[in-house]
Structure 1
Amino acid sequence: MGEPVDGLHGADDELEAKLIAIRRQLHRYPELANEEYATTEAIREWLRNVDIRLLDLPLATGVVAEIGRQEPGPVVALRADIDALPIQEATGLSYASSVAGKMHACGHDFHTASLLGAATLLKRKEKELRGCVRLLFQPAEEKGIGAQQIIKCGALDGVQLIFGMHNKPDLPVGTIGIRPGSLMSSVNGLRIEIKGVSTHAAIPHAGVDPILVSAHLIIALQTVVSRNVSAVDSAVISITQIHAGNTWNVIPELAVLEGTVRTLQPDSRIFIRQRIEEIAKGIAATFGAEIKLRWTDGPPAVHNNKLAADIAGLAAQQAGLHVILPEPSTASEDFAYYQQHVAGAFVFMGTSGNHEWHHPAFTVNERAIWKSARYFEALAELALLKLTIPEAEEIKHT
C-alpha cells in the first residue's frame, strides 16, 4: 500500500514523485506533538526552495506561509497537521519509522505532503490568484491544542475562509467525503476518583468498597446515551482505564476511572456532562463513598459552514473526485477551533487504507497524495474567486 508507486499520473510526474519522497521522509522521522522541530525546519526548507514566503510568528513548532497578494483581496487558509503518535510502527515498510515508539499512525505525513504539493502548484500561478492563500502547517493536533496555538499567534488574522482535510482509510483513492454541518465529534476527557474505606477482604462490611462502586457506576453510565440521548443524535461514553488496589486480600481505599465523552451536538455535550455528574454523585451516596470528577475539555465538534462545504464540493468536482456524503465520525479534530473564528469546511480524503487511524500497521495509498494536492490547489483558487463576487458575501458573515 505504501511501497513504490508505478505509473505516476497527472500533469507533473516529477512533482508527484517529490511529494511521495517528502511523505516518506516525514514518515521515517516522526515527531510527537510540540516536539516537531526537525519537521518544522524541513517544511520551512521545502517552502523556501520554491520561493514561498514564511511568516515570522511566535511558534516553537509549526509553519505559517503565504502565496499571492496580501492587499487588496481576500485571504483563504489551508491547514495540515504535522505531528505523530506514540505508537510502535508495525507496517514493515522500507521507510518505516526509525524512531522507536513513534509513528505517523494517523496520516499527518500525508496531509503535510499534500499541502506542500498544493503550495507548489499555487506558487506557479501566484500572479493569477485573486487574493492570498495562507498555509497553516499546524503542530500538536493529537493533543488537541495546536490549533489554539496557531490562532493565538495571529495566523487567522484577515482569513475569511479556512479548509482542511483528514485522510479516510475506508474511502477509496479518488473519493472525497464532504458534509455540511457536524462532521466530527467534540471530545471531553473524564476522570472519576472514588474514595471508600479500606478494609480486609474477609470483612468487607467494615469498609466501603470503591471497586464495587466503580462497577455500578460503569454500568449506569452506559444508560446515559441509550436512555437519555435521542436515538437520532450521536454520543459515545467510554471508560478506558480502571485503577484500584495493589494486593489480593485488601479492599482498597481508592478507585480511579478514566474515559472519554464524545458528541456531535453542543446541547448533548452539556447535558451528558450534567447527567454523568448526577449519576456519579448518586451512586457514591448510595454506597457511602466520596467522589471527585475532573473534566478535560477537548475540541468542540467540527461543524462545516454550508457555503464553505458547497465550495469544497464544487472544487472536488472540478478536480475530478467522486463526492460522497460521509457518515459523521465520533473521532475529534482540533480544526473545530478554527471554525469558531472563521467559516470553513473540513473534508475526508479517500486513501484506500489497510487499517483505521492509530493502528500500528496504518498506512495510506500514496496515489492519493497527488489527487489531494491538486484538489487543494483547485479549492484555494475557487474559494478566492467566490470571495470576490457578491454571491459569496454571506460566507464572510456566517
Structure 2
Amino acid sequence: MITEKITEIFNHVHTNAELSNEEYKTTDYIYDLLKDEGFEPVKFKNITGLYCDVGNWSGDYPLIGIRADIDALYQEVNGTLQANHSCGHDSHIAMVMGAMMKIKNHEALSTRGVRFVFQPAEEVGTGALDVLKEGVIEPLDYMFGIHLRPIEEAADGYLSPSIEHGSAGSFEFKIVGNDAHGARPHLNHNAIEVGTDIVNMLSKIHINPMVPSSAKMTKFMAGSKSLNIIPGSAECGIDVRAQTNEAMDALKSRVHNILKYIEEFYDVKIEDLEVSSMVASESNDEAIEVFRTAIIDTVGEEYLLDPLVTSGGDDFHNYTVQYPELKGAMLGLGCDLTPGLHHPDMTFNRDRMETGADVLYQAILNVPSE
C-alpha cells in the first residue's frame, strides 16, 4: 500500500512541476492528500508550502523536523522551456510522505513529536530562510533532510548519513555605460571588454588553497543586431562556490572589491546588484549518528557510506546555521542517478524511494526519547 502511494505521489508531482515560490498547486495537492489520510496539515501564512505535526508535543519529549523541498527548476526539456524536477524534489516529497504514512499510528509517537515541513524555493536559496520566518523551526530539537545522490557519489542502494554541501552563491548585476559608434571606440568603454576584465580578475582570486573554491562568470549579455554599435551596457552573472562558510565570506568580499574597482577604473556603474548564497553544511554529530543507525537497521551496515563531501549546495543548511543548537543532518540516497542532478533528462531507480522512506521512518524511531 505504501509503495503504491509513494509512486502515485511521485508521478503526480513529477508531471505537475512548479517553479520556486509558485508551488500553489503542489501545496494544495500535498495538503489535500494529507487531509484524506487523516493528518492535520497547516499551510504557511506568507509563503507557499506547508507543515504537518504528529506525535507528542507536550514539551517533555524530543521534537523532530523532517524537510522535503517542493520546487522545480526552469530549463529546456526536449526543446521546450518548462518547470522540471531534475533535482529530485518530486521524490523527496514522495519519500517524506511515505515516512509519514509509515509512522502515522506508531506507538513511538507517544514519546516524540514530529513536524513534517514541505518547503518552497530551495532552488533559489530563499525557501529555508522564509520558513524560518514562519516560526515553525525554532521549537525543534532535530532537523532531518534527504537528497538523491548522483551515481558518482553513491552507488545504487548505498546511503550516507550526511551530505556535507559547500556554500554556493551568485552575483547578478548590470554594467551600465553608454553605447558608441563602431568607428569611435574612444567615446565609451566597451562593456564586452569590461566583462572580459572581470572574468580575468575572477581567475586571479586566491583564498586558502586547502579549501575548494571557485568564482566564474556564468551569464553575459551585451550587444544587439547592430554590429556597428559598441555596447556600453551588459547583464552579468557570477557563480561562486566554497566548501566552508568562512571561505565563502572571503570569496564574496573579493568579488565585491573587483566590482568596485571596475566601476572606478572604467567610469561605469554596477547597478541592480543582487547577491544570494546558500550556506555550507554544519551537520551535527548526534543527528548523523541517528541516520547512521537508521541505515544499518534498515538496509545493513554493508550499504553504509561515510559522509559525502560535495561542492553542490542546499538551503536546508540554513536551518542549522541560523539555529546552531538544532541537531541537523541530510541523508544521501544512492539510486543509480544519471546523467546527473539538474540534467534535463535525469533519471534514477525509483524503487529506492521506498528505501528512503524506510530510513527516514527508522530515523524518527532512533531519536533518543530523552
TM-score with structure 2 length normalisation?
A: 0.89
Q: CA deviation at 1:326?
A: 4.8
Change (3 A) 1:22 1:179: closer
User: Pairwise mapping of residues 202-241 of structure 1 onto structure 2 (< 5 A)?
Assistant: 202-224=183-205, 228-241=206-219
Is the contact made by 1:129 and 1:381 (CA closer than 8 Å) also made in structure 2?
A: no
| Residue type of the alignment partner of 2:175 | I
Identity of aligned residues (%): 26
User: Pairwise mapping of residues 1-398 of structure 1 onto structure 2 (< 5 A)?
Assistant: 14-55=1-42, 57-71=44-58, 72-90=60-78, 101-126=82-107, 129-170=110-151, 171-179=154-162, 183-196=164-177, 198-224=179-205, 228-246=206-224, 247-283=226-262, 285-286=264-265, 288-292=266-270, 294-320=273-299, 322-339=303-320, 340-341=322-323, 342-383=326-367, 385=368, 387-388=369-370
In 1, Cα distance between the equivalents of 2:308 and 2:89?
21
List gaps (5 residues or longer) in structure 1. 1-13, 92-98, 389-398
Q: CA deviation at 1:79?
A: 0.6
Higher normalized strand content (fraction of residues): 2
* 1:276-333 CA distance string (max 9 Å, x none): 23334445545x3324262412221122112211222121111115222254222221
| Residue type of the alignment partner of 1:276 | V
In 1, Cα distance between the equivalents of 2:362 and 2:262?
56
Q: CA deviation at 1:210?
A: 2.6
Does the residue aligned with 1:352 lie in a helix, a strand or coil?
A: strand
Q: CA deviation at 1:335?
A: 0.5
In 1, Cα distance between the equivalents of 2:178 and 2:117?
52
| Residue type of the alignment partner of 2:71 | D
Q: Which moved more, 1:65-74 or 1:171-180?
A: 171-180
Change (3 A) 1:41 1:249: same
| Residue type of the alignment partner of 1:26 | V
TM-align CA RMSD: 2.4
Does the residue aligned with 1:351 lie in a helix, a strand or coil?
A: strand
Structure 1 segments, 4+ long, off by >6 Å, are none
In 2, Cα distance between the equivalents of 1:77 and 1:211?
48
In 1, Cα distance between the equivalents of 2:299 and 2:122?
29
In 1, Cα distance between the equivalents of 2:114 and 2:69?
17
Q: CA deviation at 1:161?
A: 0.6
Does the residue aligned with 1:375 lie in a helix, a strand or coil?
A: helix
Q: CA deviation at 1:254?
A: 1.8
| Residue type of the alignment partner of 1:185 | G
| Residue type of the alignment partner of 1:82 | I
| Residue type of the alignment partner of 2:282 | H
Aligned length: 360
In 2, Cα distance between the equivalents of 1:349 and 1:279?
39
Is the contact made by 1:87 and 1:105 (CA closer than 8 Å) also made in structure 2?
A: no
* 1:88-109 CA distance string (max 9 Å, x none): 4459xxxxxxx97222111111
Is the contact made by 1:194 and 1:289 (CA closer than 8 Å) also made in structure 2?
A: no
Change (3 A) 1:128 1:260: closer
Q: CA deviation at 1:119?
A: 0.4
TM-score with structure 1 length normalisation?
A: 0.83
List gaps (5 residues or longer) in structure 2. none
| Residue type of the alignment partner of 1:240 | T
* 1:181-226 CA distance string (max 9 Å, x none): xx112232213443455433233234332322221220221121xx
Change (3 A) 1:249 1:23: same
Q: Which moved more, 1:77-86 or 1:373-382?
A: 77-86
Change (3 A) 1:112 1:232: same
| Residue type of the alignment partner of 2:355 | K
Change (3 A) 1:57 1:291: closer
| Residue type of the alignment partner of 2:45 | P
Is the contact made by 2:199 and 2:216 (CA closer than 8 Å) also made in structure 1?
A: no
